[in-house]
């Protein structure tokens, strides 16, 4: 029988931002035994919280969800299974969760337990009952900032999260995912790779060799390279950038996703910068350069490529229709391309899933 979480309003906790803004609310998930601090970011998606919470790109962050009611469909089974289709990794990477209203009852045919049960098992504290609309307005106007979940405002302390989060979410050693009868193998540089990226490759009949973020993929016999998504500032991934430089020099077919897009840009000689409050949602419109075609995409990033610093042999591929920021680049001659959004989706629309087919076609 699934245990039903019944929120208690006898104990209150607070979310304190480093600018002094304070929001009082009530706890759910793991008990808050000590103050919890991290970078406070927001996601505007309406669904998909099991996939989002297990996305390694959220490593060390306190996530606020703008959709007012969270937890109403619980969480599905299969959390511990490798490459499960219900989650993007086998752990919750959030430092804390902020919602307006937590649903104490869940109803869905696939639910195995409540969201609060998952957070409690992962040691992640949540707060509900706050004005998330007001919170997001502050973050949009002042920019992303550190925050703290605490029982006493006087105990608040502020940290922007781990210094090198990529090293915390990457695999420790190479892992191979063979496909019977496949003659093609992709080297996947894992900077915090989502399960669905790997499953998207396997579904297209190619074997995958997944390696750590600081592994020299050019030392292996692979037909192409994919640089994955991941958390944090791309400039902290110097070893990955150096690997990307070697990959570019060899001219191997290459695909970058999210953080991988930024790493390839840095390896090419361009620059990156931090966005004011990032793109985290499943409804970001991206326009294909030179056309009127616009795709709705899933996104989760706080940094972007400065397209005006791209070398001459590189070209802009996609542009965000909301704010004009870069959403993809590609080489004008070599089989190298990358996007800032998530073509694998999960959660979100699969409009750009065809980009995996384009990448696979480059290997043949």
pLDDT above 90 for 100: yes
Residue written as token pair 């093609």:
184
Please determine, for residue 8, whether its predicted confidence score (pLDDT) is greater than 70: no
Mean of all residue pLDDT scores within the chain:
95
Q: Write a three-state SS string for 199-227.
A: HHHHCCCCEEEEECCCCCHHHCCCCEEEE
pLDDT of 80 reads: 83
Question: In whole angstroms, what is the distance from residue 116 CA to residue 247 CA?
Answer: 43
The predicted model gives 92-110 an average pLDDT of 96
Q: What is the pLDDT of residues 140-167, one digit of tens each?
A: 999 999 999 999 988 999 998 899 999 9
Backbone torsion region of residue 317, taken as left when φ is above 0, otherwise alpha when ψ lies between -120 and 50, otherwise beta: alpha
Active-site residue identified among 258, 279, 307, 327: 258
Q: Is 90 exposed, middle or buried (0-12, 13-18, 19+ CB in 10 A)?
A: middle
- For the question of residue 342 being annotated catalytic, the response is yes
Is 165-363 in the same CATH topology as 13-155? no
Residue 5 pLDDT > 50, yes or no? no
What's the pLDDT tens digit per position in 335-352?
999 999 999 999 999 999
Q: Global pTM? A: 0.95
Q: How many Å apart are CA 215 and CA 22, to the nearest integer?
A: 43
Give the per-residue pLDDT at 3: 40
pLDDT of the residue at 9: 52
Please determine, for residue 6, whether its predicted confidence score (pLDDT) is greater than 50: no
In tens, the pLDDT along 235-249 reads: 999 999 999 999 999
Active site residue 258: yes
Q: Determine which of 2-11, 130-139, 168-177, 282-291 has the lowest per-residue pLDDT on average.
A: 2-11
pLDDT of residue 11: 65
**Tens-place pLDDT, residues 287-330:** 999 999 999 999 999 999 999 999 999 999 999 999 999 999 99
SS3 category, 175: strand
| Residue-wise pLDDT tens digits, 111-128 | 999 999 999 999 999 999
Among candidate residues 106, 279, 331, 342, the one labeled active-site is 342
pLDDT confidence of residue 211:
98
Of 138, 158, 153, whose CA–CA distance to 66 is shortest? 138
Q: What is the DSSP letter of 5?
A: P
Task: Using a pLDDT cut of 90, give the percent of the chain over it.
Answer: 92
Domain assignments of the chain as residue spans, ordered by start: 13-155, 165-363
Residue 49 has pLDDT above 50, yes or no: yes
**Residue the block writes with tokens 């996609």:** 318
**Residues constituting the chain:** 364
- Looking at 3.30.420.40, 3.50.30.20, 3.40.50.300, 3.10.105.10, the CATH number of the domain 13-155 comes to 3.50.30.20
Q: Is 148 a catalytic residue?
A: no
Cis omega (within 30 of 0) for bond into 347: yes
Is residue 172 within 8 Å of 212, Cβ to Cβ?
yes
Question: For 165-363, CATH number?
Answer: 3.40.50.880
Q: Report, as an integer, the average pLDDT of 52-60.
A: 97
Query: Which residue in this structure is represented by tokens 């991934």?
Result: 237
Instruction: Kindly name the residue from 120, 307, 327, 344 that is annotated as catalytic.
Output: 344
């Amino acid at each position: 029988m699934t245990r039903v979480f019944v929120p208690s309003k006898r104990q209150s906790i607070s979310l304190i931002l480093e600018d002094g803004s304070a929001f009082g609310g009530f706890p759910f998930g793991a008990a808050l035994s000590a103050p919890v601090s991290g970078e406070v970011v927001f996601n505007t998606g309406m669904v998909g919280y099991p996939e989002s919470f297990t996305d390694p790109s959220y490593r060390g962050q306190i996530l606020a969800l703008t959709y007012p009611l969270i937890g109403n469909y619980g969480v599905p089974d299969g959390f511990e299974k490798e490459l499960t289709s219900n989650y993007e990794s086998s752990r919750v990477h959030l430092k804390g969760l902020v919602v307006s209203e937590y649903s104490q009852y869940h109803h869905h045919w696939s639910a195995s337990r409540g969201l609060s049960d998952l957070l409690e098992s992962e040691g992640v504290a949540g707060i509900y009952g706050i004005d998330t609309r007001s919170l997001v307005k502050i973050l949009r106007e002042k920019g992303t900032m550190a925050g703290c979940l605490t029982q006493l405002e006087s105990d608040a302390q502020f940290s922007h999260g781990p210094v090198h989060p990529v090293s915390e979410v990457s695999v420790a050693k190479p892992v191979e995912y063979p496909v019977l009868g496949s003659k093609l193998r992709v080297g996947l540089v894992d900077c915090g790779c989502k399960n669905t990226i790997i499953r998207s490759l396997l579904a297209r009949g190619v074997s995958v060799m997944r390696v750590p973020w600081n592994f020299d993929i050019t030392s292996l016999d692979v037909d192409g390279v994919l640089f994955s998504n991941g958390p944090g500032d791309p400039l902290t991934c110097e070893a990955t950038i150096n690997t990307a430089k070697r990959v570019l020099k060899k001219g191997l077919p290459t695909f970058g996703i999210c953080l991988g897009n930024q790493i390839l840009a840095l390896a090419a000689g361009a620059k990156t910068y931090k966005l004011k409050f990032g793109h985290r949602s499943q409804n970001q419109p991206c326009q294909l350069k030179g056309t009127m075609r616009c795709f709705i995409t899933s996104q989760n990033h706080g940094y972007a490529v400065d397209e005006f610093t791209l070398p001459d042999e590189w070209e802009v591929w996609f542009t965000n229709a909301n704010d004009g920021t870069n959403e993809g680049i590609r080489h004008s001659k070599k089989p190298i391309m990358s996007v800032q959004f998530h073509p694998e989706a999960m959660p979100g629309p699969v409009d750009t899933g065809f980009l995996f087919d384009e990448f696979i076609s480059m290997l043949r």
